[in-house]
Chain A
Amino acid sequence: AQKITQTQPGMFVQEKEAVTLDCTYDTSDPSYGLFWYKQPSSGEMIFLIYQGSYDQQNATEGRYSLNFQKARKSANLVISASQLGDSAMYFCAMREGGITGTASKLTFGTGTRLQVTL
């Protein structure tokens, strides 16, 4: 079974609008962390935001926020006021707490390509 599912291969959003990128996950470990990474066309992986399974509040980092719904096992990324520079591939990833070694593994979804238009 897929541990991380991103069902939107591609998304379009107009500049200055908000957009939500979906991510659902599957784990039986009560301790886990969820990450979002941005990959622009240049290829580097840029860390955006983190949410821990025990965090009471949704994570926010500037224009990025994470809509964390633990019971539904979803961790959607919300980008507010989209900019042209937000056009990129976005990956959701999970790290399970578990035993040492397991905690060093990051499992990725297949990504969503976001295109911001004028």
Chain B
Amino acid sequence: NAGVTQTPKFQVLKTGQSMTLQCAQDMNHEYMSWYRQDPGMGLRLIHYSVGAGITDQGEVPNGYNVSRSTTEDFPLRLLSAAPSQTSVYFCATNRGGLSNGYTFGSGTRLTVV
């Protein structure tokens, strides 16, 4: 049982390049979300989804795009990478219900040069 799988674990991009961070889950959770973690700022929500075909913006959505075509996958696209997007990115899933905890992936460390 893999839980939440994020790929890649590390990535270096040049400014202006695009890429997709992958997130896959095998827990059949409806809710999926992407967070970025920057020093001194905790985790901030980028985009989230409450089910296949439904996505919405979080606190810091600019420069990122998402789609949710299946329950299992929730990729995060960087359209034109900027140094300000250097961060650690976490994907998280939840099956809904206020008391249910979130399961996090192991993170992707992205550096934009």
Tell whether, in the assembled complex, residue B99 and residue A52 are in contact, meaning their CB atoms are under 8 Å apart.
yes
Q: Name the interface size band of chain B.
A: 20 to 34
Q: Which residues in window 30-87 of B have CB below 8 A to A?
A: 31, 33, 35, 40-45, 48-50, 56, 58
Checking B41, B44, B94, B106 against A104 with a beta-carbon cut-off of 8 angstroms, the contacting residue is B94
Contacts of B41 in A (CB 8 A): 110
- In the complex formed, the residue of B with least CB distance to A4 is B42
Tell whether, in the assembled complex, residue A97 and residue B98 are in contact, meaning their CB atoms are under 8 Å apart.
yes
Q: Name the interface size band of chain A.
A: 20 to 34
Q: How far is the CB of A60 from chain B (nearest CB, A)?
A: 15
Contacts of B98 in A (CB 8 A): 31-33, 52, 95, 97, 103
Tell whether, in the assembled complex, residue A104 and residue B50 are in contact, meaning their CB atoms are under 8 Å apart.
yes
User: Interface of B with A (CB < 8 Å)?
Assistant: 31, 33, 35, 40-45, 48-50, 56, 58, 88, 90, 92, 94, 96, 98-99, 101-104, 106-107, 109
User: Interface of A with B (CB < 8 Å)?
Assistant: 4, 31-33, 35, 37, 43-45, 47, 50, 52, 91, 93, 95, 97, 100-101, 103-111
